Amino acid sequence: MGHPFFSVKIYVTPASVRPRPSFSSPRFVYHGIFNHDKHPIDFCMKEDTRWKLFVGIGLVTLSLAMFTAHYLIFHDEHHLFIFFVGDIAFIPIEVLIVTLIIDQMLESREKQRRMEKLNMVIGTFFSTIGTPLLAQLTRADTTIDQVKTAARYQQRVEQCDVQGGEEMPR
C-alpha cells in the first residue's frame, strides 16, 4: 500500500464518472487518497530514495536541535553564527573528498568484485563446456600445427626470460 505521506495517485477521469467513496467502500484507501480503477498514475518513492530522504531530514533536524541547544546554553549568537559560516565554508571540501576520493575507492572495489565474478563464470564455462569445445575446434582447424609451433616458441621465450635471458634459437 505504501507509506501514508509518500503515496500520491492522480486519476484522469471526469468527476462525474467517479463514484463517491465511503468508509465501507473497498476503494477507500485509509490514508486519505481514493483508489479508483480508472487510469491511475502512481507517484511512489523508491525504497532506495525513501531511506535517504529520512536520513537527510533526520540529520538536518539533529543539526538544528544542536544549534538550538548551543544557543540556549550559551546565549551567544556571534560564535554560533561564526561556527555556522565555517561549517558552510567547509562543505565544498567535504564534497570534494566524498565524490573524488571515496567514490573512486568504492568504484574500484566494485570493479574488482565484478572481475572476480566474471573470472568465476569463465572458469565454470571452460570446466564444463569450453575445454571439450576447444578440443573439437582444434581437430577441425587446418592451421593448428602453425598455432602449436608459435605457442611452443612463445612458451620457451617466456621460460628463458624467467631463467636469465638466454638467447633462444629459432
pLDDT of residue 134: 83
Write the secondary structure of 99-111 as one string of H (helix), E (strand) and C (coil). HHHHHHHHHHHHH
pLDDT of residue 15: 52
pLDDT of residue 114: 96
- Determine which of 61-75, 102-116, 140-154 has the lowest per-residue pLDDT on average: 140-154
Please count the residues of the chain: 170
d(CA 65, CA 56): 14
Q: Name the residue type at position 150.
A: A
pLDDT of residue 120: 93
For the chain, the domains span 1-44, 93-163
Contact (Cβ atoms closer than 8 angstroms) between residue 50 and residue 56: no
d(CA 73, CA 130): 73
Q: 3-class DSSP state for residue 43?
A: strand
pLDDT of residue 168: 53
pTM: 0.39
pLDDT band, residue 43 (cuts 50/70/90): low
User: Kindly report the CA angle at 117 between 111 and 118, in degrees rounded to 5?
Assistant: 85
pLDDT of residue 118: 94
Give the H/E segment covering residue 68: helix 47-74
In this model, does residue 80 exceed pLDDT 60? Answer: yes
In this model, does residue 41 exceed pLDDT 90? Answer: no
Query: Which three cell numbers, joined as nine digits, stand for 59?
Result: 540529520
Report CA 62 to chain centroid distance, whole Å: 27
Contact (Cβ atoms closer than 8 angstroms) between residue 9 and residue 3: no
Q: How far apart are the first and last CA of the chain?
A: 76
Section 117-145 average pLDDT: 87
The residue among 18, 1, 12, 9 whose CA lies nearest residue 39 is: 12
Give the H/E segment covering residue 42: strand 40-44
pLDDT of residue 30: 45
More confident site: 130 or 13: 130
Section 89-116 average pLDDT: 91
Instruction: Tell me the CA distances in angstroms from 162 to 143, 165, 166, 167, one per residue in order.
Output: 29, 7, 9, 12
